[in-house]
Amino acid sequence: MTIASLHAVEVDYPRGKALGPFDLSLAVGEIVALVGPSGCGKSTALRLLAGLETPTRGSVQRAAGRGETSVVFQSPTLAPWLSATANVALPLELAGMARGQARAEAVAALDRVGLSGAEDARPAQLSGGMAMRVSLARALVTRPKLLLLDEPFAALDEITRRALADDVLALCAELKPAVVFVTHNVEEAVYMASRVIVMTPGPGRAAGETAIDAPIPRPAQFRTTPRFREAAEHVSAQLASAMSVAA
C-alpha cells in the first residue's frame, strides 16, 4: 500500500527549474533516503510531500489528515518561549486536544526519545542533540503515517548524530511511519534507509537507486560489515557519475 507518492512532479522557481521530473512512491513503514548535492531539490521534494509547496507540474498524493505527516527540519525549530513539553504538545493542542491530555502525551513522547527529566526545560537550556530529540518527539507525538526528515543531524557532532540515528531507527521500528530522509551524507543515508535514491544536481532527478538489505534497527557494528561498505561505495559511485554528467 502506498502512503504518499510524487508523480512526474516538476517545480519551477523564479531562478530556474529546481526539481524534476521526479517520481517517488512510499510504502507503509518504508525508509527512503534522498541523497544529492546541495541545491538538487531534495528539500523541495520533501516540502511537496509535506504539502508546504505545490508542484508546477505533476501530481502529489499524500497523507493529508491532521498530524498524519510530520517534519523535522535541519534546526530543531522549537518555540523558545515554551517548555520542552509544551513544544511537543503543540501539534496536539493545535488539533484541538485538551491541554491536560496533550501534555500527558507529550511527556510520554519525551520519555520515548530519552528525555524524561527535561520536561520543563526551555530550548535555550538544551544541548543541540537534546533539542533535536525534542523536535523528534514533537514529530512523533501525533503518530504520523509519514515522517519527513530534512537533514536532521546536519548541525550535530559525530557522536550525537550516530546515537540519534540509532534512536530514530528504533522509534521508527516501533511506530512504523514511512520515512523520507534527506541528507548529503552517503554513509548516513545507507545506514538509515532501506532504499537510497541518488539525485542529480538541480534540477533534481533520480540518478539511481540502491536497496539496502539489512534489518532495521541496524545490528551492532553494521558500519563495518562488507554489505554496508559495498552499498556505500555503490551509492558514492552513482553520486559521482551524476555529478560528472551535470558538470
Residues near other proteins, by CB under 8 A:
50-52, 66-67, 69-71, 73, 75, 77-83, 90-91, 94-95, 121-125, 142
Contact, 45 vs 203, CB < 8 A? no
Angle at 46 between CA 140 and CA 212, to 5 degrees: 80
The rounded distance, in Å, linking the Cα atoms of 111 and 108 is 5
CB closer to other proteins out of 75 and 241: 75
Close Cβ partners of 171 (under 8 Å, ≥ 6 residues apart): 112, 113, 136, 140
Contact 147, 50 (CB under 8 A): no
Q: How far is the CB of 76 from other proteins (least distance, A)?
A: 10
Q: How far apart are CB 106 and other proteins at their closest, in Å?
A: 14
- Shortest distance (Å) from residue 228 CB to other proteins: 32
The nearer residue to other proteins, 76 or 201, going by C-beta atoms, is 76
Q: What is the smallest separation between the CB atom of 47 and other proteins, expressed in angstroms? A: 8
Complex with other proteins: residue 69 or 210, whichever CB lies closer: 69
End-to-end CA distance of the chain: 38
Amino acid at 60: V
Rounded to a whole number of angstroms, the minimum distance from the CB of residue 113 to other proteins is 17
* C-alpha cell, 170: 528504533
Residue type for position 146: L
Q: Is the CB of 102 or the CB of 235 nearer to other proteins? A: 102
Nearer to other proteins, 149 or 198 (CB): 149
